[in-house]
């Protein structure tokens, strides 16, 4: 290389921002040794082998990915094993759906909490799985030897699928394990993950929602926080220790490792690491992708879900039975609703678009010196790919969020239609389990209100050329009276309520089914969804994939030898490290690193369901009955913050100190840095954590679950 070229290239390498920063990184466990010096400087006292080892017990053996039987490698939350009897702690909002499923008006576990004081009282949860990593391996070389740059994207994907299937089969042959090869860095690297997946996971305990969801939507994504966000489960196995479906003969898991739980002090600056299964990040996104995220994805999700959320709030506040049925649905809807809005605010406030523009300019300068169209063409392919799908993406969100997500009956009809398409001879009378599950958490009055509002909103805002005909016809026939239209629609459909369905089941009629208005609407929505998927040419889709892959590859090369870069989160186990840390979000505002129970009482508002404080908590606080869990100032700690890099899926992840002891549970990020999934902001990014002392106090003093306290190794 000529001297001038070398100097410019080195200068660019030192200038490129935004990809890897001081505290950023969701690191793969098997490669954590490369970060070891940084971890030690942050205060870490253990060895890399204490985190990840195939041959000895280590921290990874205590980390649990919570999923479901249908998608065993997708982890909606993380948990950690905290006893030698398979006891698992995770967030309250991670266990919320199971609490809801077990709740009735007579036994309202959402309102009152739930505690099993014996193992016989623990509640089974069919379909819930707990996954633990056995080992991982870099298989990039084996995959790449089957690929070439001149392959079409279709041929490339087929080759990857074939070789990955072979790798996965070899990895688990003759074992009780499950394996999956996951792409990293947009398909520039590949890693094999081997897990053992347990299928008998039982509910053990949770505080009432007034504590577990304290602060509700108001406090969500914000600090200071006082939410007691935990629930507890237990993993069971067959008597020989192998994974098994639920059986009364199953026994508690004897884990390879479990985490001791701290009742000791937490100080500003203490080392903290988070291990878990983060869902998705998009740190390599370009300005073109960011524009789609902000102007279409986040904007429309927030607007559409606002319509649904406002109705659900009103209906749930007026009726306990409705609240029980819809609490979990509401929580799922509202979490991303607020996140989408807060992320857009943070992205604008932090000028993330300009950060990405700077990255692209400097990447382009670097790419010119590579003399390879692979890198010089990447951004052009990405730009054209996003432009080609813009209107399609917008329409897809109206269909998915506004129609499918806006009407549970329409969603049910789509599901049934898909089943009928795959099996034309299907007998609906054999689907009792599906229908019973659906109607258990269904209220027709609420459903009709939501559907009418969502149909009206979609019709008014969606591109008329892409809007479904059934909405156009309804608006014309009923002269904009969407409530009347929905009343007639639900009256005529066999899927609208159990009474209609029951009458049909007594006398099935194929012609009646074919003419069912909800099923006809479902078919039309499916057809439009298919048309939208096909509206963008395969060549455009392939070019976008190739452009993103080549751009990411270029970013990795620019950083090679300069700093480590972590792959985007993709629901595989990761570790992040940092410190407990206060912060100053804006001029004149300073946040300390912890909160106490005093703040719970200060926020109390008996007229606001988000800030109700249980009478027992107030009684115990008045007596200062904090057991052995007060801090050195005599306060009852509730939450704390660290600068760990986290995202969705990390909910419930253990926050572990320098010596491998559990000090808290990660449960949220802060709105000041909601841009973090796209661009990590090291000065503002905070991980909001439940203090382990608050969890222990609730189990011990508040709930009196001495049976659980006795099996936890408490470090004081």
Q: What is the DSSP letter of 566?
A: P
CA distance 253 to 408: 38
The residue from 75, 93, 226, 258 that is catalytic is 93
Q: Is residue 226 annotated as part of the catalytic site, yes or no?
A: no
Dump strand ranges (E) for 199-334.
200-206, 231-237, 251-252, 261-262, 271-276
- For 138, other C-beta atoms within 10 Å of its C-beta total 15
What is the DSSP-derived secondary structure letter of residue 372?
-
Q: How far apart are CA 552 and CA 285, in angstroms?
A: 9
Cα–Cα distance between 353 and 629 in angstroms, integer?
A: 45
Beta pairing class for 637-642 and 231-237: unpaired
Q: What is the residue whose two structure tokens read 């400087």?
A: 41
Q: Does residue 461 carry a catalytic annotation? A: no
Three-state SS at 607: coil
Distance of CA 311 to the CA centre of its chain: 24
Q: How far apart are CA 197 and CA 64, in angstroms?
A: 9
What are the beta bridge partners of residue 79? 64
Catalytic pick from 89, 131, 651, 692? 651
Return the bridge partners of 191, or none.
Answer: 138, 182
202 to 87, 544, 555: CA distances (angstroms): 10, 44, 45
What DSSP assignment string belongs to 589-601? EEE-SEEEHHHHH
C-alpha to C-alpha distance for 308 and 406, rounded to whole angstroms: 7
Catalytic position from the list 61, 229, 516, 672: 229
Closest CA to 664 of 335, 277, 274, 269: 274
- Beta-carbon neighbour count of residue 562 at 10 Å? 12
What is the rounded CA–CA span in Å between residue 651 and residue 334? 16
Dihedral over Cα of 92, 94, 97, 99: its sign: negative
Angle at 183 between CA 180 and CA 186, to 5 degrees: 160
CA distance 46 to 621: 37
State the first-to-last Cα distance of the chain, in angstroms, to the nearest integer. 60
d(C-alpha 354, C-alpha 543), whole Å: 25
The question of whether 679 is a catalytic residue gets the answer no
Residue 477: enclosing H or E segment and its boundaries?
helix 469-477
Question: Tokens 């030192």 — which residue?
Answer: 14
CA distances from 639 to 68, 75, 592, 596 (A): 29, 24, 11, 7
**Where do we find the tokens 């099923």?**
519
Query: DSSP letters of 416-434?
Result: HHHHHHH-TT--GGG-HHH
Peptide bond into 714 cis (omega under 30): no
Eight-class DSSP state of 103: -
* Tally of CB atoms within 10 A around 249: 9
At 613, is the secondary structure helix, strand, or coil? coil
> Which residues are known catalytic residues?
93, 229, 651
């Amino acid at each position: 290389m000529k001297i001038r070229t070398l100097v410019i290239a080195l200068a660019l390498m030192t200038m490129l921002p935004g990809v890897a920063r001081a505290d950023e990184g969701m690191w793969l466990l098997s490669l954590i040794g490369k970060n070891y010096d940084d971890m030690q400087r942050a205060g870490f006292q253990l060895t890399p082998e204490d985190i990840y080892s195939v041959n000895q017990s280590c921290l990874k053996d205590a980390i649990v990915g919570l999923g479901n039987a249908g998608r065993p490698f997708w982890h909606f939350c993380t948990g950690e094993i905290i006893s030698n009897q398979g006891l698992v702690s995770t967030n309250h909002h991670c266990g919320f759906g199971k609490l809801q499923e077990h709740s009735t008006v007579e036994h309202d576990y959402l309102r009152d909490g739930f505690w099993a004081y014996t193992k016989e009282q623990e509640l089974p949860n069919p379909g819930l799985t707990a996954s633990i990593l056995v080992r991982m391996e870099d298989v990039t070389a084996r995959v790449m030897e089957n690929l070439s740059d001149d392959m079409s994207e279709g041929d490339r994907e087929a080759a990857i699928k074939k070789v990955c299937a072979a790798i996965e089969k070899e990895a688990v042959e003759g074992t009780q394990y499950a394996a999956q090869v996951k792409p990293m860095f947009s398909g520039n690297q590949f890693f094999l993950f081997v897990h053992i997946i347990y299928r008998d996971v039982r509910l053990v305990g949770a505080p009432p929602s007034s504590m577990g969801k304290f602060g509700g939507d108001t406090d969500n994504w914000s600090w200071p926080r006082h939410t007691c966000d935990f629930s507890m489960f237990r993993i069971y196995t067959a008597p020989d220790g192998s994974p098994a479906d639920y059986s009364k003969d199953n026994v508690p898991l004897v884990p390879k490792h479990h985490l001791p739980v701290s009742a000791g002090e937490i100080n500003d600056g203490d080392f903290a690491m988070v291990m878990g299964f983060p869902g998705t990040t998009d740190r390599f996104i370009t300005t073109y992708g960011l524009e789609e995220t902000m102007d279409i994805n986040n904007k429309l999700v927030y607007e559409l879900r606002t319509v649904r959320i406002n109705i659900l709030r009103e209906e749930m506040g007026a009726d306990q039975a409705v609240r029980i049925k819809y609490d979990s649905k509401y929580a799922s809807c509202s979490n991303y609703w607020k996140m989408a809005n807060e992320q857009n605010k943070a992205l604008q406030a932090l000028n993330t678009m300009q950060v990405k523009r700077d990255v692209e300019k400097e990447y382009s300068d670097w790419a010119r010196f590579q003399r390879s169209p692979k890198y010089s063409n990447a951004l052009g392919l990405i730009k054209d790919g996003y432009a080609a799908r813009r209107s399609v993406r917008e329409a897809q969100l109206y269909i998915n969020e506004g129609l499918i997500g806006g009407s549970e009956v329409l969603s049910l009809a789509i599901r049934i239609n898909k089943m009928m398409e795959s099996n034309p001879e299907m007998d609906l009378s054999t689907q009792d389990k599906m229908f019973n599950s659906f109607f258990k958490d269904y209220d027709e009055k609420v459903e009709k209100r939501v559907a009418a509002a969502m149909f009206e909103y979609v019709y008014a805002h969606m591109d008329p050329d892409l809007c479904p005909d059934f909405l156009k016809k309804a608006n014309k026939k009923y002269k904009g009276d969407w409530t009347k239209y929905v009343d007639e629609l639900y009256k005529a459909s066999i899927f609208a309520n159990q009474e209609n369905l029951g009458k049909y089941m007594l006398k099935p009629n194929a012609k009646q089914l074919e003419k069912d208005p909800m099923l006809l609407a479902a078919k039309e929505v499916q057809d439009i969804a298919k048309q939208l998927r096909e509206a963008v040419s395969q060549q455009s889709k392939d070019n976008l994939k190739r452009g993103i892959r080549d751009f990411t590859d270029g970013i990795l090369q620019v950083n090679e030898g300069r700093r480590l870069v972590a792959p985007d989160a993709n629901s595989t186990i990761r570790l992040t490290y940092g410190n407990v840390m206060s912060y100053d979000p804006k001029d004149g505002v300073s946040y300390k690193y912890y909160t106490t129970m005093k703040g719970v009482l200060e926020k109390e508002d008996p007229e606001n369901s988000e800030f109700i404080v249980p009478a027992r908590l107030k009684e115990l606080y008045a007596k200062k009955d904090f057991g052995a869990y007060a801090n050195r100032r005599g306060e009852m700690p509730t939450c704390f913050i660290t600068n760990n890099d986290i995202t969705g899926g990390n909910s419930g992840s253990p926050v572990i100190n320098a010596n491998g002891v559990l000090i808290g549970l990660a449960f949220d990020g802060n709105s000041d840095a909601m841009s973090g999934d796209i661009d990590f902001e090291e000065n503002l990014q905070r991980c909001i954590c439940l203090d382990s002392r608050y969890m222990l106090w609730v189990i011990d003093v508040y709930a009196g679950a001495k049976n659980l306290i006795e099996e936890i190794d408490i470090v004081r």
